[in-house]
Amino acid sequence: MVLEGEPISVKMLEEIVERDYPVLAAVYGATAARFALVGPPLPPVEDTLCVGECLRPAVMSLAGKALGNTRIPAVLSGHDLPAGNRHGHALYLAEDADGDGRIDHLTAYVPGGVDQECHRVLVRLTRLWTREGWSWRVLLEAVSDTNVFAGSSTLFGIGKCWTSVTVYLHPRHMKKKFTVTDQILRECKERALPEIRHLARLPLIKMQDRELRPIHFHRFRAKRGLVRPDTRGGFWRIEFAGPVQGPLALGFACHFGLGLFGRGG
């Protein structure tokens, strides 16, 4: 799928390389950097995965320039993490915050915290670009604790009920005694989330005057050779027995914005 934004020019690339970035102190307790995406045109919410897969390499490129390719933080790259730490690295999330069907915000969520090196990298992000040569301007809103963003986004904050905002793909092959429901229950248990009180599958999600079904979302990673146990996907509403801190993303490609849930619903 081709994403269309503003064509990249030589001047844009020179601005990115030559910009004089100030040395900024990390914010204590920060776990996320949130950005506004500036069009036009802004990508449709159905391309959440594509945009998430553009965000990570943009951050990796800046990390290499700012810190050196051998010093990229593992929490940003996802490489060389301790055994068993499958979800301790960054989530690269695209979001339609105003509900108009277009992606208008990006978030790099670092569960373990944004330290000085991560902060130095993330504040440098000013553009997002695609392999096809299109780009969008990116404006940093804040590097902070995620609860700061709860007032403007249902992805953040604390709640017991969470509803799909992007398609969920189960990460393992289904078996007779290992259904999609079982996989969601297992993943939430592995993450030490509260017990699930109620779990319901939804046929669609509504966005203004549109009804979106799983098939409308881009569901295939750009990286080749990945095992895809689920090619169709689904939407879910989860009610936990206790409060859960957002963002909540589950299943295949959750680090790039699939399986993303919003508070309420």
pLDDT digits (tens, 9 = 90+) for 32-53: 999 999 977 899 999 999 999 9
Tell whether the model's pLDDT for residue 57 goes beyond 80.
Answer: yes
Lowest mean pLDDT among 14-18, 82-86, 217-221: 14-18
Distance, in Å, from the CA atom of 122 to the CA atom of 265, rounded to the nearest integer, reads 32
Give 57: exposed, middle or buried? Use CB within 10 Å, 0-12, 13-18, 19+: middle
- Angle of CA points 233, 34, 7, to nearest 5°: 80
Give 223 or 137, the one with higher predicted confidence: 137
Residue 79 to residue 255: CA distance in whole angstroms:
13
Check whether 101 has a pLDDT greater than 90. Answer: yes
> Residue 177: pLDDT band by 50, 70, 90 thresholds?
confident
Average pLDDT over residues 139-155: 94
Task: Check residue 91 and give left, alpha or beta (phi > 0: left; psi -120 to 50: alpha).
Answer: beta
* Section 92-102 average pLDDT: 95
Question: Quick one: pLDDT at residue 205?
Answer: 96
Per-residue pLDDT band for 130 (boundaries 50, 70, 90) equals confident
pLDDT for the residue 132: 78
80 pLDDT above the threshold of 70: no
Tell me: pLDDT of 190 over 70. yes
Angle, alpha carbons 250-169-219 (nearest 5°): 115
Tallying the residues shown for the chain, one arrives at 265
- Across residues 149-155, what is the average pLDDT? 95
The sign of the dihedral angle between the CA atoms of 34, 39, 45, 51 is negative
Say how far apart CA 244 and CA 236 lie, in whole Å.
16
Q: Going edge to edge, which strands form the sheet with 248-249?
A: 196-202, 235-245, 158-164, 260-263, 248-249
Please give the Cα distance from 252 to 220 (Å, whole number): 10
pLDDT at residue number 19? 44
Confidence at 204, pLDDT banded by 50, 70, 90? very high
Q: What pLDDT is stored for residue 171 in this prediction?
A: 93
- CA 170-174-176 angle, to 5 degrees, is 145
Percent of the chain whose pLDDT exceeds 90: 69
Mean pLDDT (whole number) for 217-221 = 91
- CA distances (Å), origin 225, targets 57, 106, 220, 228: 18, 27, 11, 9
pLDDT band at 89 (very low <50, low <70, confident <90, very high): confident
pLDDT value of position 4: 56
104 contacts 95 by C-beta, under 8 angstroms: yes
| pLDDT at residue number 86 | 61
pLDDT of residue 46: 96
Cα–Cα distance for residue pair 110/85, rounded to 1 Å: 13
Residue 221's Cβ-count burial label (10 Å; 0-12, 13-18, 19+) is middle
Tell me the mean pLDDT in the region 222-250.
92
What tokens were used for 223?
A: 């990286």
Name the burial class of residue 29, with classes exposed (0-12), middle (13-18) and buried (19+) by CB atoms within 10 angstroms of its CB.
exposed
Residue 73 sits at the vertex; the CA angle it makes with 25 and 137, to the nearest 5 degrees, is: 65
Q: What's the chain's average pLDDT?
A: 87
pLDDT at 85 over 60: no
CA distance 124 to 200: 41
